[in-house]
Structure formats: structure tokens, C-alpha cells
Chain A
């Protein structure tokens, strides 16, 4: 079992819809969770981070964390064509340094 798993997609949503991206992780000691966006040919850039169970909102983005289920998700409201990218889920244990990434989910937002 991979340490961090994501559906590779592609996930296709129409402009203005909600895109839902999911991630599961295997290490119960994980404490820090990150979502990165990566455009083709570019380096990953941070969108959201979440440390506590529940929801965290930042503009059109909402990160959701459920440690009991070892599940973290990213919701993108009012999706725009510019949101089309690969979204990477990353997980780090408490006090740890070894950030592990999922394989990423490709998102296409159709105009």
C-alpha cells in the first residue's frame, strides 16, 4: 500500500462547478497535511495546509481533514479554467521531515 494515495484522474468539471479532490494516507502518526497545485512543466506551489480535524477555508478552496478515517480532501468552489492543473496531496508526520506526496490528481475545468 502506498503511503499517500490519490485518484490519478483526470477529473473533469464544468466551469463554475465544485471540484472535489481526495487523498488517503497510511501513517496514523501524520500531523501535517498539504495540498499543492502543479501546472504542466512547473514546480509545485502550496495551496492549502491543514493540521487539525475539520474544515479550513481560504477563498474558493476548502481543505477537509478526518484523522480517524485517514482522509484529507480539497474542494474548489466556482472552478475556473485556470484551476486546470495537477493537485498533489502531501503528508508529514509529527516533528518529522519526511514529506511524502501522492501521485497527484489531474483536474480539467471546461469553459
Chain B
């Protein structure tokens, strides 16, 4: 049982490049989330998907798009990366009103 799997683990992008962060969970959870974590800022919610077919903005959605491909997969896309998007990105999943389980994170650097 892998839990929540994110790919890639590390990525360096040049300003203006695009990329997609992939996330998959095998716990049959309905809800999935994307967070970013910056020093001193804690985890900030980018987007979430309450259930398959729905997505909603979180606290910091600007510059990102998401796709809930199916119940298992939830991807995060940066269309035109900026240095301000340098961060650690975490994907998580949960059932309603229960705790979230996190992936191992993706360290993204935009130069």
C-alpha cells in the first residue's frame, strides 16, 4: 500500500517554463489537495478536490491549474513558472472529516 505518491521528487525549472506535478493515491479517498510550504508560512492550500469531477480554489491559487483526472489522480500544473513559485509542494488525500495523508513532497526551484 503506497498511500500518496508524488512525482517528481525534485525539479528545477527556468522562469517561464511549464510543468505538471503528478499525484496518485491508492486509499480510495474522495478528497485530494495540493499545498505549498515555504519557510515560516506553513502549509498553504493551493487547490483542492472534494470529489472526482470537482475542483476548488484554496488560499493561493494564482499561477496554478489542477485536474482531477479520476478518483486516484490529482495533478497540479504551472503554466509559466516564476521564481515566487519556488517551494515544496505536497499532495494529500482524505475521506470527509478525517485526517489528510501526505505524499513525500516535490522540491521545486524556479531560476
Render B76-96 as a binary contact track against A, CB cut-off 8 A, 1 for contact.
Answer: 000000000000001000101
Q: Are B99 and A34 in contact (CB under 8 A)?
A: yes
Assembled-state Cα–Cα distance A101/B97 (Å) = 15
Query: What is the distance, in angstroms, from A91's C-beta to the closest C-beta of chain B?
Result: 11
Which chain B positions have C-beta within 8 A of A97?
31, 33, 48, 50, 56, 94, 96
B interface size (C-beta, 8 A): 26
20 contacts between A and B (CB under 8 A): A34-B99, A34-B100, A42-B104, A44-B90, A46-B99, A46-B100, A88-B42, A90-B43, A92-B97, A95-B96, A95-B97, A97-B33, A98-B56, A99-B94, A99-B100, A101-B45, A102-B42, A103-B41, A103-B42, A104-B42
A residues with CB within 8 A of B: 6, 8, 31-32, 34, 42-46, 49, 51, 88, 90, 92, 95, 97-104
